[in-house]
Structure 1
Amino acid sequence: MTGFPSMSPSTRIYIAGHRGLVGSALWRHFLQHGFENLIGLGSSELDLRDAHATATFFRDARPEVVIDAAARVGGIAANARRPVDFLSDNLRIQLNLLDSAVSNGVERFLFLGSSCIYPKFAAQPIPEEALFTGPLEETNEGYAVAKLAGIAQVTAIRKQHGLPYISAMPTNLYGPGDNFSLHDGHVVPAMIRRFHEAMLAEVPFVTCWGTGMPRRDLMYVDDAADAFHFLLDHYDGERPINVGSGSDVTISEIARIIADTVGYRGEIRWDESGPDGTPRKLLDIQRLADLGWSAKTPLAEGIRTTYDWFLAHRDTYRH
């Protein structure tokens, strides 16, 4: 199925965004598997929105494989407040990375999309064919449009240059290194912090946005890193491929698991004037399963590990 060799410990792999949630998991994963030539620069060292700086870096570093885990990301509140930032920054980052990769002979490129760029009312479980077929979730539109453009660019590169670049569509990811901001974080890290602080303050109830009824497919980020490595070694297709857990739970169930994990015993209330977001996001992962990969970390175990990381880093985590 592949026209390229599997990666070896000596392969020069550039992980763009190596200090973020996904990038740090990829870095851990490859180190644990004996890879010796990992390349990563922080945003203070290389601004990927700068085309010239990005091109110069690629010319000097000469990576053989690139994984694009760099993006401006955030939860519903952040996307709604700053749609221009999410659109413009992500367009610049991925355009510069892909253009520089092609110009400098990068052999393999993995572009990471997101389950939140599927149409708001896509059929469930969501097949890859649903991309570009309907209206997007309004609170997420800027980010989604940028990521859709990235997928289109990967497809165009395959057609024009014949390079084995691929796109993956990860589900909602969580884990060590996440953003635990109450305002900009995604659902799991934001709830972990909210319930932890409520437990410490012994407040009688915690109010969460929405109805609690939307359903989410959640995956522990280290499982995702393993899947991305697997795809680089085993997948070469024009169609993006979904990466998910294969099951989903309600936001209300997530809140209860997190409350139990941190030891919060108060009431959970729901502010139905707040946005729910997409009603359901469960990815169809049959194509990935057919290749021979599946997730390993149960949700409760992953949340426990994430909370332990939060406790160990609560003085230094991103706010």
Structure 2
Amino acid sequence: MDKSSQFAPGKLDRESAFFVAGHRGLVGSAIWRCLESNGFTRLLGRTSTELDLTDRSATFAFFREFSPRYVVLAAAKVGGILANNRFPVDFLSENLRIQLNVLDAALEAGVERLLFLGSSCIYPRMASQPIREESLMTGHLEPTNDAYAIAKIAGILQIQAIRRQYGLPWISAMPTNLYGPGDNFSRLGSHVLPALIRRFDEAVMNGAQSVENWGTGTPRREFLHVDDMAGACLHLLENYDGPTQINVGTGTDVSIKELAEIVADAVGYEGSLLWDTSRPDGTPQKLLDVSRLTASGWTPKITLREGISDTVQWYRSNTGRLRV
């Protein structure tokens, strides 16, 4: 039975059960805040100790018990270049299991609207810039995080398969690099921006005269504040219906060197910046084409300097509770 018209996009019922998978993570916690501020009253969230989404029977039992009407799948094993390069099996296996379990359980439970979140790393390493959604699977992936990317591509294809076979208006969104409150600032698992914040903040505290960063500083990256991402997710759930994954970003980028200078300014670091060119740079540029998202009526609100300043404040207020 084709349910596309029955469950078509539109304003979501604020009193229906809404499961945010990964509600304690960077993206999930922002989505939770966004939904609360928009009047949703039956939010469902479980920590990984309360519900292990890699456990298939436990995941199905949860969906059978609570029957959520809406789902955002933000749960994932994530990390920076170092972690992805060192533990590819973990990133591939764990993410595939989470996705299969949640999507299969949601299908059995009759979830009406579901948003699967991936990452811009799904696109080819040398994709034409800015990267259009149509670039998916047109070239080789960045080898430092190809395992994670393959898992996310599998999730996109599963969403498309569910749409074809069952007619459900489930969708996928691929955010650019995200940052903000709740980010991972650990030495091993952090991405570039939180790693820079920690590095420069520690340099200020220790009175360091120089800070060494990885690579050449020339790669360009796009950054989106996680609260903007959360707003985009709700917007898409209520306004977008299509099999193609939709890019979520700002449409502008900065070099890693420029990013480091912004972070240094935000934390008050006045020493010199050094670059270890023996370290990997990763993809030369990752800038998303967000014209499809913009055409749907959504644009970001938080500037990069404003967002980094707020994130530095959050980091300093929560240092004692962060992962090390």
Query: Into which bin does the TM-score normalised by the smaller protein fall?
Result: over 0.9
User: Which aligned segments of 4 or more residues in structure 1 are displaced greater than 6 angstroms?
Assistant: none
Correspondent of 1:74 among 79, 84, 88: 79
Structure 1 unaligned segments of length 5 or more: list them.
none
Distance 1:116 1:253 in 2: 21
For 1:209-248, what aligned pairs fall within 5 Å after superposition?
Answer: 209-248=214-253
2:300 maps to which residue? 295
Aligned to 1:38: 43
- Give 3-state SS (helix, strand or coil) of 2:95's partner: helix
- Report if the CA contact (8 A) 1:182-1:194 is conserved: no
Partner of 1:316: 321
Query: 1:17 corresponds to which residue?
Result: 22
Task: Give me the whole-angstrom Cα distance separating, in 2, the residues matched to 1:141 and 1:270.
Answer: 25
SS, match of residue 310 in structure 1: helix
CA offset digits 1:163-201 (Å, max 9, x no partner): 111000100000000000122100111110010001110
Q: Give 1:29 deviation, angstroms.
A: 0.7
Q: Which deviations, in whole Å up to 9, do the C-alpha atoms of 1:34-87 show, x marking residues without a partner?
A: 110100000000000011000000000110011000000000000011000000
**Aligned partner (choices 86, 101, 110) of residue 106 of structure 2:** 101
Q: TM-score, normalised by structure 2?
A: 0.97
Matched residue, 2:123: 118
5+ residue gaps in structure 2? none
Match for residue 160 of structure 2?
155
Paired position in structure 2 for 1:274: 279
SS at match of 1:177: coil
Task: Calculate the TM-score normalised by the size of structure 1.
Answer: 0.99
> One-letter code of the match for 1:279?
P
Task: Check conservation: 1:86, 1:142, Cα contact below 8 A.
Answer: yes
SS of residue matched to 1:277: coil
Equivalent pair of 2:171/2:242 in contact (CA under 8 Å): yes
Counterpart selection for 1:201 from 203, 206, 210: 206
Note if 1:137 corresponds to 2:134: no
Query: Which string of whole-angstrom CA distances, capped at 9 and with x for unpartnered residues, describes residues 203-262 of structure 1?
Result: 111111000000001000000000000000000001010000110000000100000100
C-alpha distance in structure 2 between counterparts of 1:271 and 1:18, whole Å: 36
Verify the 8 A CA contact 1:216 1:280 in the aligned structure 2.
yes
Give 2:12's aligned amino acid.
M
Say if 1:171 and 1:243, in contact at 8 Å, map to a contact too: yes
Deviation for aligned residue 1:292: 0.7
- Alignment size in residue pairs: 319
Q: Secondary structure at the match of 2:320?
A: coil
Alpha-carbon deviations, 1:108-162, whole Å to 9, x = none? 1100010111100000000000011110000001100100000010000000011
Aligned to 1:180: 185
Aligned to 1:307: 312
1:264 equivalenced with 2:269 (yes/no): yes
State which of 48, 53, 58 in structure 1 corresponds to 2:53: 48
Alignment check: 8 A CA contact 2:122 2:150 kept? yes
Output the CA distance in 1 between the equivalents of 2:255 and 2:299. Answer: 21
- Contact between 1:49 and 1:89, CA under 8 Å: does it hold in 2? yes
Query: What is the SS of the residue equivalent to 2:127?
Result: coil
Report the CA distance between 1:32 and its aligned residue: 1.1
Secondary structure of 1:52's match? helix
- Give the Cα–Cα distance (whole angstroms) in 1 for the partners of residues 98 and 76 of structure 2: 7
Aligned 8 A contact 2:9 2:239 in 1: no
Paired with 1:59 and 1:28, the residues of 2 have a C-alpha distance of 25
- State the AA in 1 paired with 2:211: V
Q: Secondary structure at the match of 1:270?
A: strand
1:188 maps to amino acid:
L
What letter is aligned with 1:200?
Answer: M
SS at match of 2:319: coil
Q: State percent identity of aligned pairs.
A: 57
